[in-house]
Structure 1
Amino acid sequence: MASSETIEAVPQFGLCEAGAPYQARPCAFGIAVDDKGRIALVRIARETYVNWDLPGGMIDPGESEAVALAREFCEETGWAVTAGALVARAEQFTITRTGERRRNQCGFFLCELVEMTGGKIEDDHELVWLDPHEALTRLRHPAAAWAVTHWLRMGRVCGGRPR
């Protein structure tokens, strides 16, 4: 490695059982802010639980992070977005409802809201706009809460413009 190169550590969240295989899963999530300074979250209500997540999800083979983010964001909220600046990267170790061990390799991006598409939103998903500090108390995954905290500490509101 050349002396000018650096290695940035990617924070890891969740519990990882030593020796157990975790499937790597590249993901992209969006931080979108409305004109009132509220952040977009997805409330996922299933039969036995409710989760709160940043819009986004798994990157399909052959997709870029920006394309995956736009697709997932629209599927979950009905909003077309454009992916902007990378806010943070982190890994989230998790075990799914079906017992699969996953290592979500997450990119968290600022998003610009383009338009409400009117397309079908996943049945158990609801877009909710919350104050970013309240969002921190609701987010399911610590990696997402860390990324939102990182964004807040950058002094960003309303689409990434400085305060």
Structure 2
Amino acid sequence: MKPSLQFGIADAGADYLLRPATFGLVFHDEKIACVRVTRDTPYYDLPGGAVDGDETEQEALIREYVEETGMTVRPLERIAEAAQYFRKSDGQPVNNIGGFWIAEMLALDPSRKVEDDHELVWLHPRTALAELRHDAHAWAVAKWLRR
């Protein structure tokens, strides 16, 4: 699986796990849904993550949104594909490869969220461009803004 666009710089000698992933862009009141992840150093991501087993990107996106935010979404359109080299919080080198989807919020029930270190935040797209941890995520927001 070779990405059409690669972000980040691979550390020399590191063996990067190729991880199929998917992330979503949900807009409401001119803001975009993001997650503030509170670990050693807090950061912002687009909701989403790994595609598990035989899941489709859409199925993984629906699951990840519930786990991270409590939001039920409907994926509408795959607008981009990119990859991002990074190290997980445990230090494991990973290359997320996958799609970025426009999705529609159907419902929001915070009690369904299971990831305690993730908090749903609504950011203005320009703020998201500056604050998102991964360049691939900021690029996907910019791509949507320029449509």
Q: TM-score with structure 1 length normalisation? A: 0.84
Structure 2 partner of 1:102: 94
Aligned with 1:57 (options 34, 49, 65): 49
Rg bigger for which structure?
A: 1
Please give the alpha-carbon distance, in whole angstroms, between the structure 2 residues aligned to 1:149 and 1:51: 19
1:68-126 deviation per Cα after TM superposition (whole angstroms, max 9, x unaligned): 00000111111100111011100101122322111110210000101113413411111
Deviations 1:131-153 (A, max 9, x none): 10111111000000011101101
* 1:120 correspondence with 2:106: no
1:11: how far off?
A: 1.2
CA RMSD of aligned residues (A): 1.5
Runs of 4+ with >4 A deviation:
none
The DSSP-based 3-state class of the residue aligned with 1:40 is strand
Deviation at 1:17, TM superposition (A): 2.9
What is the percentage of aligned positions where both structures have the same residue? 45
| One-letter amino acid of the counterpart of residue 134, structure 1 | T
Alignment size in residue pairs:
145
Does residue 129 (structure 1) correspond to residue 122 (structure 2)? The answer is yes
The aligned residue for residue 34 of structure 2 is 41
Q: Which runs of 5+ in 1 are unaligned?
A: 1-8, 155-163
Q: Which residue in the other structure is 1:160 paired with? A: none
Q: Given the two structures, how large is their TM-score scaled by the length of structure 2?
A: 0.92
Deviation at 1:19, TM superposition (A): 5.0
Distance 1:93 1:21 in 2: 11
Is the 8 Å Cα contact of residues 45 and 124 (structure 1) preserved in structure 2?
A: yes
* 1:132-147 matched pairs, under 5 angstroms: 132-147=125-140
Letter in 2 for 1:122: E
Which residue of structure 1 aligns with residue 11 of structure 2?
A: 17
**Farther off after superposition, 94-103 or 20-29:** 94-103
Distance (Å, rounded) in 2 between the aligned partners of 1:130 and 1:98: 27
Q: Which residue of 1 aligns with 2:20?
A: 26
Q: Hey, what's the Cα distance between the residues in 1 that align with 2:13 and 2:45?
A: 28
Look up the match of 1:84. Answer: 76
